[in-house]
Structure 1
Amino acid sequence: MDLEKPAGPPAAVPAGEGCLVVAIRVPARIVALVLVVPVRLVWDALTVAGRFLDDRLLRPLGRALLWAGRAVFVWPFVGLWRYVLAPCGKGLARLGRVLVVLPAVAFHRHVLVPLGRGAAWLYARVLTPVGRVLAAIGAGARAGAARLGRCLVVVPSAWLYRWVFAPVGRAAVRCVRGLVRLVATVVAGVGTGLYRVTRVLLVLPALTVWHGVLVPVGRVLAVVAREAGDALGHAWRVAGHLSQTVGRFFGRLLRWVFVEPVRWVYRNVLTPVGHVVRDAVLRPVGNAAREVGRAGRRALAAARASVRRARADVRRALLGEPAGPKEPQLTHHREPSGPRARTLGSSTTALTKD
């Protein structure tokens, strides 16, 4: 595959770079490295602190605020909408249907429809013939007025336009065209002179300054800016690697100074001590406490039973036996009562039984 082919040789340095580029590149990279490394270290430290605050403080606080906002603002309105406004709206809709819609439908069906039908009959049988007669009278009047207006207005106006206004307008247009040509000739001569003067006094010196001064200076400034940008990028990458190395060093130092001792103490000291305390102290104490609780519950149950018996004896001594139904006596039957059970020597069966 093309992706598995080894990469080609590194790109060669452009042949157009000279000593000026090299003289600018090395100091620029040194200065950029000196200036960028502290900034990158501070930036990485702030990034780590920001991530820690975001994970440990801001996100839990945001979740708590979101829950509080829902509890204070969303859920009351949801309950208000669900249990107050929606039932009220449904009741108002039903009330409006009963009080407005049904009367309006009945009014339309039993009042407006008959009136509309009567108006349609009146329009078709009365107003339409009258309108046709009036339209015929109006058409005749319009035709007479049109003929009278043509004779009195249109024909004189057309004659006046053809023999008076048109010749005068043509003469005025020819005069204006001649004047425009004269003005255009004068303006073209003045513009040509101004163009030549401006070219000699402004354009040619400006082109000389552009090609002789600004272009070389711009190229030098472009080289300086490009090298400064490359130096800043290189310094930023170097500072990133340095910041990563410093961060790993401090992480390992923190681990070996704080985490590993605490882990060793927890694993080799606190855990055995906790097991000993649990097996030698807490578990016997718990067993003893459970036994004491059981003994206390048994003593309390015995005391309650003694109190019940004493109270029953006192009631029996004062009031006698209750007159209620006698308690059934329990009899222990080892054999079923009633008919004698069938034995091996008995001939009584379900078929021979009388």
Structure 2
Amino acid sequence: MDMQNRPQRPPQSRPQSRPPSQHPEGCLVVAIRIPVRIFVFLVVLPVRLLWDAFAATARFLWRYVLAPVGRAAGLVLHALLVVPLVWLYRHLLTPLGHALRWFHARVLTPIGHALVRLLTPVVKILEQVLGMLGTALYRIARVLLVLPALAVWRWLLVLPALALWRWILAPAGRVLGIVLRETGEALGHAWRAAGYVARAVGRVIGTLFRWIFLTPARWMYRTVLTPVGHVVRDLVLHPVAEAARAIGRAVRQARADLRRALFGEPRPPAPVNRREPTGRDTRTLDE
């Protein structure tokens, strides 16, 4: 309760430090950014339009041309290469591999073991001799070459290289970094802006296509072709169908009359005697 009733102290305000600027270069950045972005936008816009057209064409070719051709080529390659290679592997390479493995295990391995046993002492002696020779050469080269080269490197090359890096290469690298960064940002902005322009051009082309082709075709279908089709259906097709059905019925009737005239009326089917009682007294299973 004391902790709840205790008045809270207002937080002490701290002096707000200014956020460090992301680009401390100032006028140099402004002077480079605007021309670079304008130039890059003018360069990237036709590239983006060509890229979108190429992507649409490539999708169409991959889906409707290259995929069927690839499947057909795969079947042909399977028939001409895979099947012969599988047969060659099963009937020639596999027996040959077994024979080579047997030759390696039964012939080459014993010969190799024998050579190792014979040459091991010679190899050890050579290793000792070469080790001593290498140690002596290393010490001589260190005294005659390495130590003088290190001295020349420290006094004649390191200090000029540090000065060159500090006063020439580092400032030039910062300026080049600014140019590359602004060029990259300009490329990104130009690519996005070119995408907006390409989508707008696509929408305009789609709208013109709809106005020029689809809307007149839809109007022609609804206003002209549909009523004409209904008229043709009601005045031509339906009467023709009715006439055809009537002709079919007349042909069937004429065929039936001809068959009746030649062969007479068909006989009614004879009643079949199923041997069942017809009176009241019927048989049961007990009788």
- Report the TM-score when normalising by structure 1: 0.48
Residue equivalent to 1:50: 58
- State the shift of 1:304 in Å: 2.5
Aligned to 2:223: 268
After superposition, the Cα gap between the structure-2 partners of 1:64 and 1:190, relative to the gap in structure 1 and judged at 3 Å, is: closer
Aligned to 1:308: 263
Structure 2: how far apart are the matches of 1:285 and 1:34?
A: 67
Once the two structures are TM-superposed, the CA of residue 190 in structure 1 deviates from its matched residue by 6.7
1:36 pairs, out of 25, 33, 44, with: 44
Aligned to 1:259: 214
How do 1:189-204 and structure 2 match up within 5 A? 191-204=146-159
Superposed counterparts of 1:101-116, under 5 Å: none
Aligned pairs, how many? 199
TM-score w.r.t. the length of structure 2 is: 0.58
Are 1:24 and 2:32 matched, yes or no? Answer: yes
The reply to whether residue 223 of structure 1 matches residue 143 of structure 2 is no
Cα 1:192/1:278, change in 2 over 3 Å: same
Call closer, same or farther: CA 1:328–1:297 in 2, change over 3 Å: closer
1:297-336 → structure 2 map (5 Å cutoff): 297-309=252-264
- Shift in Å at residue 12 of structure 1? 9.3
Distance change (3 Å), C-alpha of 1:271 and 1:60? farther
Amino acid at match of 2:181: R
Deviations 1:174-193 (A, max 9, x none): xx9xxx8xx96995587544
Residue identity opposite 1:226 in structure 2 = R
1:244 to 171, 194, 199: 199
In structure 1, C-alpha distance between the alignment counterparts of 2:31 and 2:151, rounded to whole Å: 46
Structure 1 moving runs of 4+ over 6 Å: 327-330
- Aligned to 2:199, the other structure's residue is in SS state helix
Structure 2 gap segments, 5+ residues each? 1-18, 84-131, 272-277, 281-287
Identity level (%): 46
Give 1:131-170 correspondences, 5 Å limit.
none
SS at match of 1:16: coil
Q: Distance in 2 between matches of 1:61 and 1:253?
A: 33
CA distance change for structure 1 residues 272 and 12 in 2, over 3 Å: closer, same or farther?
farther
Aligned equivalents of 1:285 and 1:185: distance in 2?
A: 116
SS of corresponding position for 1:272: helix
Distance 2:270 2:149 in 1: 143
Question: Kindly tell me: are residues 303 and 35 of structure 1, through their superposed partners in 2, closer, same or farther at Cα, counting changes over 3 Å?
Answer: same
Provide the C-alpha distance between the structure 2 equivalents of 1:15 and 1:299, rounded to a whole number of angstroms: 103
TM-aligned CA deviation for residue 266 of structure 1: 0.3
Distance 1:63 1:192 in 2: 66
Q: Report how far residue 194 of structure 1 moved.
A: 3.6
The alpha-carbon distance between structure 1 residues 54 and 192, as it changes in their structure 2 partners (threshold 3 A), is closer
Aligned to 1:118: none
Cα displacement string for residues 236-266 of structure 1 (whole angstroms, at most 9, x for unaligned residues): 0000001011101110110011001100110
Cα displacement (A) at 1:328? 10
Letter in 1 for 2:57: A
Alpha-carbon deviation of 1:21? 1.4
2:37 partner amino acid: R
- 1-structure distance, mates of 2:240, 2:222: 25
Change beyond 3 A, Cα 1:263–1:217: same
1:211 corresponding residue in structure 2: 166
Sort the Cα spacing of 1:305 and 1:220 in 2 relative to 1 into closer, same or farther, 3 A.
Answer: same
Give me the whole-angstrom Cα distance separating, in 2, the residues matched to 1:297 and 1:60. 55
CA RMSD of aligned residues (A): 3.9
With 197-206 and 13-22 compared, the bigger mean Cα shift is at 13-22
Structure 1 unaligned regions, length at least 5: 1-10, 78-175, 311-326, 331-337, 342-354
Per the alignment, residue 87 of structure 1 pairs with none
